Chains A and B, each alone.
Chain A
Amino acid sequence: MRAAPQLIGWSRHFLLTIHLNFLNPQAIVYGYLVPIIFLLAFAGVFRADSPPLLAQMGQIMTITILGGACFGLPTALVAEREQGVWRRYRLLPIPTLWLVFSAMLARVLLVASSVLVQIILARAIFGTPFPDHPGAAALAFLVVTAAFLGMGILIAALADNVPAVQALGQCIFLPMILIGGVGVPLAVLPFWAQRIAGFMPGRYAVEVLQPCFNAPNGLHENGFRFAALVVIGLAAGVCGVRLFRWEAGPRTNPARWWVAAALASWAAVGAIAWETGRLKPVLPEAAAWSNITEAQIAEIGFNGLPADNDIVAPLGPPSLDPSTKELAGKLASWPPGKLDDSGQSIRNLVSIAAIADLCADPREAQMARLAFRQIQNRFEPAIARQALAWIILNPDDGQAMTRAPELGLFRHPPERLVRQRSVIYAEKYLGRLLGKIPD
């Protein structure tokens, strides 16, 4: 039986869209070459990771999908609209939205091929493992791509011409790359940026793609993230379809409220995530400190440290003045010293000693002693050793606190200095724990 002509035409349009994409040098550059450059750039930045790039594949894939959806699709649609191709399609005996759907489906295939090239190249060049959960990865890819294509349709509807696509696309692309957890890893961002990222789909895209590569349970417990992507993609897609234009030239229908509706979905997702406690600070991988080996600890030297009664990094004697009792009580219940992440908790306690020293607080030596006592009392010696060695060997890892008004430290020295001073205190503490420095 012969298929319905509309279906034949639809299929032909789908195939022709893919064919024409491969005849366009710009589409090849942006669709394949740029994603490969991103892959190589990530490999350069995270070259010390083992296995290489495994922890960044979610980000790399998200950037590729984002590029294909926010630039590739709308650029193709708007260019064809400017040429009058969509005017011609309007004459066909088929709802024109079918052809929009065909263009979207072709884009899914093109983006999928680009992502596959990245995965294969990562494996071939850097030995990055394939996803642990390929089925889940395919599902996550489809949901993320559909959500971003919804945004691509909205961009195509709003942009009057191809340059406007670039401008609008960058408005979405750049914030997500810089502070949305897509380009810069979430754990490296300050807390405020992490919270803002909770209002952007890029964060959820990375969070559903990444576990498919290296999480033991794959996509378990990712319901909210999937829902966030579906809501944001659907809102943008519906608004895009409502505003979609077949005619070239400036837009005549008002778009303000539709754009507001699409952005409201971002705000709603972020607000729900915030209210339900899903925007907790993301800390660097625990593995960063827990992977510190005894051999690495043994190599650390303790020569050249300032004396305990020096101006730099003073450390009070073990026998504390009774006047510090209240401060000791506050420090014992201080929340940043009692995080789930032991390494970060210890870094926070060391930061307190550093801040007090840098602020020339009258209690600086006692503060340093109290922080050491908390570390000694509250953590397993092996964990304390690993965390202190981590601070010494990786001073820029993790979050560095720069103030603690709740402990009476109202001034806030620069983060760079806090990290430097933390290294000295960590050496003093670790040397004592190892018995290499007399206490």
Chain B
Amino acid sequence: MPADHKPDRSSAAAVSVVNLHKRYGDIEAVSGVGFEVGAGRIFGLLGPNGAGKTTTLECVLGLRRPDGGSIHIHGFDLRTQAIQAKLLVGAQLQAATLQDKITPRQALDLFGSFYPQSFSSDELLGRFDLEAKADAFFATLSGGQRQRLFLALALVNRPALLVLDEPTAGLDPQARRKLRALIREIQAEGRTVLLSTHDLEEAGQLCDQIAILDGGRIIAVAPPAELIARARTPARVIVRTTPPLASTVVDALPGVIGAAYGAGGWILDTRAPNRLLADLVRRADEAGAELLDVQFHQPSLEDVFIELTGRPWSGGSEPGEAS
């Protein structure tokens, strides 16, 4: 089996973006974006409509020429060493399908043939569960099969870096879960993954590190858990009992910084959820109230975004971009 495309400069970061700028006419789509992705990590660009995620990825892939800044892929400068960099990169793009009458096998054979090392089409068809559709026309594939084929195409050159633009967009929940599992497998092989997403749940579950983009700028970079931990939004406990707890009981609970009664239960905000939950059970028991339902909500990436931007999360795709 041929070896993967190994970067010669193992010490370099998989991706290094410094002070990236890109304008479309009067609109500055990306303004001073910079980040570094360590080898073997999954790095997510998270942002709402028009945040600049796809533009940033397209600059990293060499599809768009930046107006300023620099991009290095495993130490190769994209401006001067584009071919060396391209050998190390596989990509799954938005708004890039295939000819209607090409088959998955033909597509994999075609794209793989441009590289000195590549997976065989049979290996990839098996791995991505496309054997049954190997010789079917592309136009007959389902959405999930197409996305798996695109992922297989991204992997065909045994890349050190995989760039995925909204990889699960438009898929049903089952296909989405399957694709996420494949992405984790790819990471487990030691490949670096740089992806963009507007799906907060996906970013939180998949990524080792997240850069939140807004208005063409990065407003925060950290692992998801760290971002959530930094949030000032309190945790929330919703508790329903029979009979309902008296307000005097609720007032005596430790760590509660806000309490309101509604929808048949108490809504309690706290920065000390462990203590609150432990005490809540005990006091309900003492008051002779039976617990019917307890819901616990930690702050989410959405809360983090709202805190950072002062705006609600809009999700969706970037204007002028494919999704």
A interface with B by C-beta (< 8 Å): 5-6, 8-9, 12-13, 16, 19-20, 23-24, 80, 83-85, 87-88, 90-94, 246, 248
Contacts and interface: CB of A to CB of B under 8 A. Distances in A.
Contacts of B83: 93
A92 B111 contact: yes
B101 A20 contact: yes
A286 B116 CA distance: 64
Interface stretch (B92-100, B182-190, B246-254, B255-263): B92-100
B106 A84 contact: no
A91 B89 contact: yes
B91 interface: yes
A5 B116 contact: yes
A88 B110 contact: no
Contact of A12 (B97, B100, B113): B113
Given A84-B95, A85-B96, A93-B114, A12 B101 contact: no
Nearest to A246: B63
23 contacts: A5-B114, A6-B114, A9-B113, A12-B110, A12-B113, A16-B102, A16-B106, A20-B99, A20-B101, A24-B101, A83-B97, A84-B93, A85-B97, A85-B99, A87-B95, A88-B93, A88-B98, A90-B62, A91-B89, A91-B91, A92-B114, A93-B83, A246-B63
Nearest to A19: B106
A386 B83 CA distance: 73
B283 interface: no
Contacts of A9: 110-111, 113-115
Given A85-B99, A88-B96, A93-B83, 11 more contacts: A6-B114, A9-B111, A12-B113, A16-B102, A20-B102, A85-B98, A88-B153, A91-B62, A92-B86, A92-B114, A93-B86
Contact of A91 (B61, B101, B116): B61
A87 B93 contact: yes
A246 B63 CA distance: 9
A13 B96 contact: no
Contacts of B113: 5, 8-9, 12
A20 B98 CA distance: 12
Given A5-B114, A8-B113, A16-B110, A93 B87 contact: yes
A84 B97 contact: yes
A355 to B, nearest CB: 63
B98 A90 contact: no
B109 interface: yes
Contacts of B153: 88
Q: Give 7 closest A-B pairs by Cβ, nearest first.
A: A84-B96, A9-B114, A23-B101, A93-B86, A9-B113, A87-B96, A88-B96
Contacts of A90: 62-63
A91 B89 CA distance: 8
A254 to B, nearest CB: 13
A84 B323 CA distance: 14
Nearest to B102: A20
Nearest to B83: A93
Interface in B127-141: none
Contacts of B91: 91
Contact of A93 (B95, B101, B109, B115): B115
Contacts of A20: 99, 101-102
A29 B101 CA distance: 17
Interface centre among A19, A20, A23, A88 (most CB of B within 10 A): A88
A16 B109 CA distance: 10
B207 to A, nearest CB: 23
Contacts of A24: 101
A88 B146 CA distance: 14
Contacts of B98: 83, 85, 88
A40 B93 CA distance: 47
A12 B114 CA distance: 9
Contacts of A92: 86, 111, 114
A13 B102 contact: no
A13 B111 CA distance: 9
Nearest to B110: A12
Contacts of A248: 95
Nearest to B322: A84
A141 B101 CA distance: 30
Interface in B51-68: 61-63
B282 to A, nearest CB: 61
Q: Which of B62, B99, B102 has the most CB of A within 10 A?
A: B99
B63 A5 contact: no
Contacts of A84: 93, 95-97
Instruction: Specify which of B83, B96, B102, B153 lies most central, judged by the most chain A CB atoms within 10 Å of its CB.
Output: B96
Contacts of A85: 96-99
Contacts of A83: 96-100
Contacts of A88: 93, 96, 98, 111, 153
Contacts of B102: 16, 20
Given A20-B99, A93-B83, A87 B114 contact: no
Contact of A13 (B101, B110, B116): B110
Contacts of A13: 110
A427 B228 CA distance: 106
A255 B47 CA distance: 35
B108 to A, nearest CB: 11
A5 B115 contact: yes
Nearest to A22: B101
Nearest to B85: A93
A19 B114 CA distance: 19
A19 B91 CA distance: 26
Contacts of B95: 84, 87, 248
Contacts of A16: 102, 106, 110
Nearest to B90: A91
B109 A80 contact: no
B33 to A, nearest CB: 21
A438 B117 CA distance: 96
A9 B115 CA distance: 8
A92 B153 CA distance: 11
Contacts of A94: 114
Contacts of B99: 20, 80, 83, 85
Interface string B69-96: 0000000000000010011010101011
Interface string B201-216: 0000000000000000
